[in-house]
């Protein structure tokens, strides 16, 4: 299982939100580049970046900052937030981004996602964000009636590289990962799943490792790393032991 530190960007700064609420923001660094380099130095094998401003506006808003991060680090970078057309997908991949995450677009435009997967195999990730099992879009500001599982099943044969599944109620709360829902999703589709939202400590990593066999291939960690509740080195060490 791969451990993926999160670098969320708002107005050019590295921040964390509580439950996706843009009014409940904590700034952790004025330099997302320095933060990404810090996680790389501590052993990260991939960095997760979200353009929070882009996720609400529907178009990239922190492009230059994300470009700077992608050029500064040596490990793969995956980016989400405001990616709604092929031009944006191509632009990010041309910057050196390894994978792009399609969330709102996946709910609204299946043909676009299919075309992106066909053109860039292995480089498109499906972002599914949920409240009580129902998908939320537009930077988590709009609820839908669609279930996460129904959306995931639509994309089983498209070549999507993975699903990032986020439990919004737990995101930034350090209340524990929704392991049950994550594992249920992984068992129900043929697409690997990356857990996100609520990591509180090493116990969450251990619980996720226990369902790795079900198709949970990674976990994105944000606030727990920034507050020191979880050591990135310890999490990576645990994950590597499980590979042996």
Catalytic residues: 8, 129
Q: Are 202 and 224 in contact (CB under 8 A)?
A: no
Q: Are 147 and 133 in contact (CB under 8 A)?
A: yes
Decide: residue 20, CB within 10 A, 0-12 exposed, 13-18 middle, 19+ buried.
buried
Q: Are 139 and 172 in contact (CB under 8 A)?
A: no
Q: Are 49 and 77 in contact (CB under 8 A)?
A: yes
The strand pairing partners of 159, in sequence order, are none
Helix axes 63-72, 86-95, angle to 10 degrees: 40
How is residue 106 written in tokens?
């996946």
């Amino acid at each position: 299982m791969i451990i993926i530190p999160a670098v969320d960007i708002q107005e050019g700064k590295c921040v964390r939100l509580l439950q996706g609420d843009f009014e409940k923001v904590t700034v952790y660094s004025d330099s997302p580049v320095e933060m990404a380099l810090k996680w790389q130095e501590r052993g990260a094998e991939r960095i997760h970046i979200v353009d929070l401003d882009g996720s609400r506006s529907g178009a990239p808003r922190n492009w230059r900052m994300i470009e700077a991060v992608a050029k500064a680090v040596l490990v793969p970078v995956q980016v989400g937030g405001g990616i709604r057309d092929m031009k944006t997908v191509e632009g990010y991949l041309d910057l050196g981004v390894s994978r792009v995450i399609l969330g709102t677009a996946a709910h609204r435009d299946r043909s676009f996602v299919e075309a992106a997967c066909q053109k860039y195999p292995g480089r498109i990730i499906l972002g599914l964000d949920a409240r009580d099992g129902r998908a939320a879009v537009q930077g988590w500001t709009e609820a839908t009636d669609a279930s996460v599982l129904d959306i995931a099943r639509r994309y089983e044969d498209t070549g999507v590289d993975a699903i990032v599944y986020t439990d919004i109620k737990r995101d930034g709360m350090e209340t524990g990962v929704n392991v049950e829902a994550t594992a249920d999703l992984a068992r129900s589709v043929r697409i690997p799943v990356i857990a996100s939202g609520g990591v509180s400590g090493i116990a969450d990593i251990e619980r996720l490792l226990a369902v790795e066999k079900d198709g949970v291939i990674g976990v994105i960690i944000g606030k727990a790393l920034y507050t020191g509740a979880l050591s990135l080195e310890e999490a990576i060490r645990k994950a590597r032991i499980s590979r042996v």
